[in-house]
Amino acid sequence: MATCRVLSGRLRALACCLVMVVFPFALRAPAAAVSTVTTRPVLIRVASTYTFTVLENGRVFAWGRNTEGQLGLGDTLPRDKPVLVPALFGVQDIACYGNTVFALCADGNMLAWGDNADGLVDPVLSDTLSSPLPYPALSGITRLISSGDHLLALREDGRLYAWGRNASGQLGLGYAGATAPVPQPVPGLSGVREIAVTREASFALISDGSVYSWGSNLYGELGQGDAGSGTARYVPTPIPGFAGIRQLIGGQRHVLAIGEGAGEEAVLYGWGSDSHGQTGTDPTGTMGVVPVPTLVPMTGRPVALAAAGNASLAIRADGSVLVWGANTGNVLGTGEPTSVIHRVPTVHPALVGAVGAALSLQTGFAILEDGSVYGWGKNLSSQLGLEDTLPRPLPTIVMQGHVYPVVYVEQSGTLESGLRIVGTAMPLILTVSHPVSLAWTIDPDGDLPFVAPPFSVQNQSRCPIAVSVSGWSHDSTDGTGMIDVPPDHFPNWTDLPADVPCSRIALGIRPELGAEGWTPAPGCPVRWASGESTTRCGTLSPGGSGGFSLTARHGLAFSHPMVARHTLVFLFSLA
């Protein structure tokens, strides 16, 4: 079973602990037990001012606001583009509670970091915790979700736990009132299969397809047939006559659900506040509140949902996207004025081939089947990860292969001649006692798996790191076929001749230097990893300390799957 690990200092390991896409490469770290590391995002979690994406291998990228250390990067500096969180491994899910963040790991344990003013991370430590810490209060967890006001965690035995604010009884503990700083078992529930939340209400999907709801019901969001200030439920209550449900998701004050239709088909329900058409159930806009689950008029089979604020999104089985509700802050991403309201599902004009999506109050993301991540909407805190704070009325590419670090190092120890690895993850941090120059080469015929040997800094010494590049396309019988991709759809992708040998095709890689000790070499161009030519990167002077990394800046698109193997080689020369 995979585990979630936190790395800090010199390899101090702490064992602990909406949407599928494919990225065209995999990595291997130079350790005795080499395991494949892929870079395919499987999930995105969006808070109002910051964003996380979780990769298939459990690594995490973060960007946006970071005033309380909520990005988990060990500081409180904002990031305007996706940045690897070095301390996180084996993560399956992320839940954002204001500026407090919880991570669910593959072994069912949890991590927490960020704002600790309420003692949610640790009752003893400081108010701001910028690095992930083990969260020992729960184990055996399979699902984790947050409304921003309260959290739910589902255990592998079907038991449900809740904690956080409870002003409207959203914790399901039989009363409304004080915040619960630690998880509490929710009574009266068993066999829970899925969970969902609105701002102040909670929902549990039971294994038999029935749904329970509790908490605030000001706008009929509990689906119980009533609404108003005196209709809250403080304990889980079944929604009458509502069954056959497969999936649930909540917005600010409304809920969407996918249920069983005729045969293999599925139907969509909406209920709760419909002030801006967000339930998708009332084309006339006269109801305002929809207090019971009501069919949403739409064609096609819904397979995935996203909701937040007064906006909703559904992905159909063919990858097309429907949006409805208010376009406040461009959250619908349709390019229309922010005053536009769609009261019924409307086909998105720009998104095709989607496999998942995520929404916050005024920001949205979609991940497409080709492996790209697009974002749109409000961007005052760089929560779109586009290296600026400009809003985007239409989907704009945020993450492609070119933004991911190609390699990370997971080893430590003092090496000869004053070269020392003091970091444990990307970027690799070096200190030197004499000048050395860093360059890099590519050996396209490297064997995998690979174990990095010890080495000393002397003229022309090499530090090899193995990389497996997979998920591209080559057919040894039919030759290589290029996909015709428009430039605006795949920025920074480069066309190469179709007769380039597959063994010589790899990523376009740029070396990047960090810290003050480096004197960059002229150039540092992007180079295709297609031969053994060397690119000089920079010189590190005595007493200096600096990190370096390699980042994929380009990719190739082909028509059939293939696997190409390469070995990245760092070359250190005496200056």
Handedness of CA 115, 120, 121, 125 (dihedral sign): positive
Q: How far apart are CA 371 and CA 24, in angstroms?
A: 8
Beta strands in 98-215 (DSSP E): 100-105, 110-115, 128-135, 141-146, 150-155, 160-166, 177-185, 192-197, 201-206, 211-215
Q: How far apart are CA 260 and CA 242, in angstroms?
A: 11
Q: How far apart are CA 40 and CA 404, in angstroms?
A: 10
How distant is the alpha carbon of residue 547 from its chain centre?
Answer: 25
> Does the N-terminal peptide bond of residue 449 adopt cis geometry, omega within 30 degrees of 0?
yes
pLDDT > 70 fraction of the chain, expressed in percent and rounded: 62
pLDDT in tens, 226-279: 999 999 999 999 999 999 999 999 999 999 999 988 777 899 999 999 999 999
pTM for the whole structure: 0.67
Q: How far apart are CA 201 and CA 239, in angstroms?
A: 13
Here the tokens at position 181 are: 């700083």
List Cα–Cα distances, 169 to 119, 166, 200, 215, in angstroms.
20, 5, 8, 5
Which pLDDT band, with edges at 50, 70 and 90, does 123 fall under?
confident
Phi-psi region of 263 (alpha: psi -120 to 50; beta: other; left: phi over 0): left
Q: How far apart are CA 486 and CA 524, in angstroms?
A: 28
**Burial letters for 146-159: b for 16+ Cβ neighbours within 10 Å, e otherwise?**
bbbbbbbbbbeeee
Does 115 have pLDDT greater than 80? Answer: yes
List Cα–Cα distances, 123 to 116, 182, 387, 427, 554, in angstroms.
8, 10, 36, 32, 46
> Does the N-terminal peptide bond of residue 525 adopt cis geometry, omega within 30 degrees of 0?
no
Check residue 346 and give its pLDDT: 97
Q: How far apart are CA 23 and CA 487, in angstroms?
A: 18
124 or 404, which is more confident = 124
Which residues fall within 8 angstroms of residue 375, CB to CB, at 6 or more apart?
363, 364, 365, 384, 385, 386, 392, 395, 396, 398
Q: What is the 3-state secondary structure (H, E, C) of 253-306?
A: CEEEEEEECCCCCEEEEEEEECCCCCCCCCCCCCCCEEEEEEECCCCCCEEEEE
Check residue 369 and give its pLDDT: 79
DSSP-assigned letters across all residues of 223-246 = -SS--STT--EEEEEEPTT---EE
- Mean pLDDT (the chain, rounded): 73
Angle at 401 between CA 397 and CA 404, to 5 degrees: 105
**Burial letters for 401-431: b for 16+ Cβ neighbours within 10 Å, e otherwise?**
bbbbbbbbbbeeeeeebebbbebbbbbbbbb
Of the candidates 140, 52, 155, the one whose C-alpha atom is nearest the C-alpha of residue 99 is 52
How distant is the alpha carbon of residue 18 from its chain centre?
Answer: 8
Angle at 58 between CA 55 and CA 60, to 5 degrees: 60
pLDDT in tens, 347-371: 999 999 998 899 999 999 998 876 6
Give, as one character, the DSSP assignment of residue 482. B
440 or 81, which is more confident = 81
pLDDT in tens, 411-454: 222 222 222 222 222 334 454 545 555 555 444 444 333 233 33
Of the candidates 343, 332, 261, the one whose C-alpha atom is nearest the C-alpha of residue 303 is 261
